[in-house]
């Protein structure tokens, strides 16, 4: 689906612009809006969402079974995990490691990978691909890109809030894809009636319909 691939690239470019914002550099060593994440660690985690796609494309064709998009989220270990659990510690440490050379180097690295992916995604087939951190399964390439788009949009907002700048603009179609995914995950977690009421009847809305 060329649309998903184009939207991923546009969303990744928006993330690069945010990483280059002087406000990110100024707040680099401060705590972020996310518990236990520094601004630099959150920036590294944001960058990882792009770098992981390049790594997945460069890896061998996985032998692990391909699962549907929502099944992927039924399997990942980080949903519902405590901040101190190993998976979340690994995520935070990974972000810190990627950011170790500073904001300029991180933004330049992501920008270079986005440029490479502009060609790599155009030539790529449909998958399967996988990120080893997940577990013993894989996704189609386009489903992988949807997962990374969601991460990019959500964490770009986290980073923007952390440094006091507006969230970067992304294409309407990319935002619709992310909202569709989050809505489906919210329905699975809270039930269709709860999500319906949250969107249509404030007097009967549940306290939350957060997807995670």
pLDDT tens, residue by residue, 95-117: 999 999 999 999 999 999 999 99
pLDDT in tens, 44-65: 999 999 999 999 999 999 999 9
**Residue 10 sits in the same domain as residue 115:** yes
Kindly tell me if the per-residue pLDDT of 9 is higher than 80.
yes
Structural Rg of the chain based on CA atoms: 17
Give pLDDT, residue 198: 96
Q: How far is CA 152 from CA 16, 65, 79, 147, 163, in A?
A: 10, 25, 17, 9, 16
**Structure tokens that stand for 178 in this block:** 């992310």
Give pLDDT, residue 134: 85
CATH of the domain at 15: 1.20.120.450
**Domain of residue 207, residue span:** 171-212
User: How far is it, in rounded angstroms, from Cα 32 to Cα 27?
Assistant: 9
Q: How far is CA 179 from CA 94, 147, 195, in A?
A: 26, 12, 13
Region 33-42 average pLDDT = 97
**Residue 198 sits in the same domain as residue 120:** no
Region 168-172 average pLDDT = 97
Give pLDDT, residue 128: 94
Give pLDDT, residue 2: 66
**Residue 111 sits in the same domain as residue 200:** no
Kindly tell me if the per-residue pLDDT of 39 is higher than 90.
yes
Least confident of 93-97, 119-123, 164-168, 178-182: 119-123
In a 13 Å sphere around the CA of 29, the CA atoms on its Cβ side amount to: 2
Q: Output the pTM of the full model.
A: 0.95
**Residue 107 sits in the same domain as residue 208:** no
**Residue 136 sits in the same domain as residue 99:** yes
Number of structural domains the chain divides into:
2
Give pLDDT, residue 167: 97
**Structure tokens that stand for 170 in this block:** 């992304």
Give pLDDT, residue 92: 95
**Residue 153 sits in the same domain as residue 183:** no
**Residue 140 sits in the same domain as residue 181:** no
In a 13 Å sphere around the CA of 102, the CA atoms on its Cβ side amount to: 5
Kindly tell me if the per-residue pLDDT of 177 is higher than 70.
yes
Give pLDDT, residue 1: 47
Region 149-169 average pLDDT = 98
Give pLDDT, residue 79: 86
Could you tell me what percentage of the chain is helix, strand and coil, using 3-state DSSP and rounding each to the nearest 5?
65, 5, 30
Q: Of the candidates 134, 152, 167, which is a domain's last residue?
A: 167
**Residue 98 sits in the same domain as residue 21:** yes
**Residue 103 sits in the same domain as residue 116:** yes
- Selection from 191, 200, 150, 187 nearest residue 15 by Cα: 150
Cβ-contact 173, 4 below 8 angstroms: no
Rounded percentage of the chain residues whose pLDDT exceeds 90: 88
Region 39-46 average pLDDT = 98
**Residue 154 sits in the same domain as residue 101:** yes
**Structure tokens that stand for 94 in this block:** 């990974």
Region 32-40 average pLDDT = 96
**Residue 163 sits in the same domain as residue 178:** no
Q: Of the candidates 131, 147, 167, which is a domain's last residue?
A: 167
**Residue 73 sits in the same domain as residue 39:** yes
């Amino acid at each position: 689906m060329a649309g998903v691939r184009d939207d991923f690239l546009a969303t990744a470019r928006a993330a690069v612009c945010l990483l280059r914002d002087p406000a990110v550099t100024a707040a680099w060593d401060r705590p972020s809006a996310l518990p236990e994440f520094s601004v630099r660690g959150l920036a590294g985690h944001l960058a990882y969402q792009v770098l992981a796609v390049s790594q997945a494309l460069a890896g061998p064709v996985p032998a692990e079974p391909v699962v549907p998009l929502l099944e992927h989220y039924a399997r990942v270990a980080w949903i519902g995990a405590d901040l101190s659990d190993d998976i979340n510690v690994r995520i935070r440490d990974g972000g810190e490691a990627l950011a170790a050379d500073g904001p300029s180097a991180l933004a330049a690295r992501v920008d270079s990978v986005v440029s490479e992916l502009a060609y790599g995604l155009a030539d790529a087939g449909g998958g399967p691909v996988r990120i080893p951190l997940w577990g013993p399964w894989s996704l189609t390439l386009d489903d992988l890109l949807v997962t990374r788009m969601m991460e990019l949009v959500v964490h770009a907002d986290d980073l923007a809030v952390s440094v006091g700048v507006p969230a970067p603009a992304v294409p309407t179609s990319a935002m619709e894809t992310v909202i569709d995914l989050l809505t489906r995950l919210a329905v699975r977690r809270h039930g269709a009636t709860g999500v319906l009421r949250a969107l249509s009847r404030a007097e009967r809305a549940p306290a939350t319909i957060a997807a995670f």
